[in-house]
Structure 1
Amino acid sequence: MEKKRFAVLLCAEDSDYVKKKYGGYFDVFVGMLSEEGETWDVYRVALGEFPDDGEINDYDGFVVTGSCHDAHGNDAWICKLLALLKKLHSLQKKVLGICFGHQILCRSLGGKTGRAINGWDIGLTTINFSPSKSLAALQIPSSLTIIECHRDEVRELPPCAEVMAWSEKTGIEMFKCGDHIMGIQGHPEYTKDILMHLIDRLLQRDLIQSCHVEAAKASLEAYELDEEAWKKLCKSFLKGPSLL
């Protein structure tokens, strides 16, 4: 049997802390999603590193990561990423988008993104799923906790897409398009430790206020992460014969 091959389209630069403790964000994603016998590669798209047309067909699926950049921006690499995602969609390649990846996927398909109406969402959030026989078959409960860290959101879905989940603050926490595209606004790959160090950096750069930090810490202390359920859900999407 031919080995499955996946690529992470890395849209963020590794922080010194994540690089030192986890080996970088690529290793964080591989730790969550990989299984024995698979090949995982990384393209640092934020630094201009993209797969060429010949390489695209070598992959069974792609993961688009979070980023400190805006998905509604028009930096050269973002425009190039939009073109790549349109191509992956036309080829019916499996694509999983996380946070920025969720938003840029939406934009590439004709949807709209922008600053979140309710402002920053940082901390542990409960999201609610739309009824789904496939989720029930995977024994995924009707709601799960996930780490959030975003100030942008999907404002309007593309015509091909439908909402999979929502939360109190965010109307489109997850969406799918056909059997091959899925976006998740939260960070199933994050640990509480990664979030706390990210919060410290955001505070140092005056991008958030101390009230955001206090609320995030309180949420992390009050609830546990549904890590295993998210692993199962993401792996089932990327590697299964059809979407959830």
Structure 2
Amino acid sequence: MEKKKRFGVLLCADDSEYVKKKYGGYFQVFVGLLGEEGETWDLFRVVNGELPNDEDIDAYDGFVVTGSCSDAHGDDVWILDLVRLLRRLDSMRKKVLGICFGHQILSRALGGKTGRASKGWDIGVTCIHPSPSNKLLSSLCIPSHLLIIECHRDEVWEPPPHAEVLARSDRTGVEMFRYGEHMMGIQGHPEYTKDILVNLIDRLLRHKHIQTSQAEAAKASLKEKEPDREAWKRLCRSFLKGKSLS
């Protein structure tokens, strides 16, 4: 009998009240995108200090590192603990998929540089340009222009040594990268729905993290463009569950 695949979500943010009420929390949002019948998915609230035990890591087929309100270049205890865990997972060649903050902290752990985005906040539906030379992307019939929901003011300045940049956009030089065949980062949010972003925009505006003009532009992009959610689902599942990136 084939062993059931097991994955862990390394949650780097507290659940918003909206996502908790409508979706049951960010963990359920990720499982909804990535999970398939017969798999086991476990939650680790890394932001609260929960990490998988050393002796348990080997039982996992892969991990997903989520977005966060924190800075990937910060030195909070939980962030430094996460960096150490990611380096361990790299040494074990475990599959790791990093999303937004997860993309940035994965780059940091592997020797890249992150910081504030040179062009400021990127919020809304963004068009990114995947590399046509990558075999996984071409085998999955990923289009040359791919739309994704974004919400970030930090970015990867320099990818890790020996990493391959898989996608760029007009605002962000490293929208996706892969490191070996076992680690991949995505700056955008393939797991987000439009309503999740609208709620987040309203919260950012309420707390004066963004200006009214930025909020209006972001909401306009949501009305004008449709994220390529199914393409992102195919890509993330294929990477996380064993297909080669070479």
TM-score (normalizing by structure 1): 0.99
Partner of 1:79: 80
Q: Which whole-Å CA distance do the structure 2 matches of 1:147 and 1:241 have between them?
A: 24
Partner of 1:119: 120
Q: Which whole-Å CA distance do the structure 2 matches of 1:240 and 1:91 have between them?
A: 15
Q: Which whole-Å CA distance do the structure 1 matches of 2:65 and 2:119 have between them?
A: 24
Q: Percent identity?
A: 69
Unaligned runs of 5+ in 2: none
- Deviation track 1:40-96 (CA, whole Å, cap 9, x = no partner) reads 001000000011101110100000000000000000000000000000000000000
After TM superposition, the runs of 4+ consecutive aligned structure 1 residues lying more than 6 A away are none
Structure 1 residue 220: Cα displacement = 0.7
Letter in 2 for 1:94: K
1:152 aligns with one of 154, 164, 167: 154
Counterpart contact for 2:135–2:245, Cα < 8 Å: no
Q: Which whole-Å CA distance do the structure 2 matches of 1:11 and 1:171 have between them?
A: 24
Partner of 2:211: 209
Structure 1 residue 160: Cα displacement = 2.4
Partner of 1:14: 15
Partner of 2:49: 48
Q: Which whole-Å CA distance do the structure 2 matches of 1:183 and 1:202 have between them?
A: 24
Q: Which whole-Å CA distance do the structure 2 matches of 1:186 and 1:238 have between them?
A: 17
1:108 aligns with 2:103: no
Q: Which whole-Å CA distance do the structure 2 matches of 1:119 and 1:34 have between them?
A: 33
Q: Which whole-Å CA distance do the structure 2 matches of 1:242 and 1:54 have between them?
A: 27
Structure 1 residue 241: Cα displacement = 3.6
Structure 1 residue 243: Cα displacement = 2.3
Q: Which whole-Å CA distance do the structure 1 matches of 2:135 and 2:235 have between them?
A: 13
Q: Which whole-Å CA distance do the structure 2 matches of 1:86 and 1:205 have between them?
A: 35
* TM alignment of 1:113-192, pairs within 5 A: 113-131=114-132, 132-192=134-194
Structure 1 residue 120: Cα displacement = 0.2
Letter in 1 for 2:150: E
SS where residue 186 of structure 1 aligns? coil
TM-score (normalizing by structure 2): 0.98
Q: Which whole-Å CA distance do the structure 2 matches of 1:119 and 1:191 have between them?
A: 22
SS where residue 243 of structure 1 aligns? coil
Letter in 2 for 1:238: L
- Deviation track 1:202-227 (CA, whole Å, cap 9, x = no partner) reads 11111111011111011111111111
Partner of 1:89: 90
Counterpart contact for 2:136–2:244, Cα < 8 Å: no
SS where residue 55 of structure 2 aligns? helix
Counterpart contact for 2:11–2:47, Cα < 8 Å: yes
1:243 aligns with one of 218, 242, 245: 245
Q: Please say which of residues 99-108 and 158-167 is displaced more in the overlay.
A: 158-167
SS where residue 111 of structure 2 aligns? coil
Partner of 2:199: 197
SS where residue 141 of structure 1 aligns? coil
1:232 aligns with one of 231, 234, 240: 234
Counterpart contact for 2:96–2:182, Cα < 8 Å: yes
Aligned length: 244
Partner of 2:38: 37
Q: Please say which of residues 80-89 and 214-223 is displaced more in the overlay.
A: 214-223
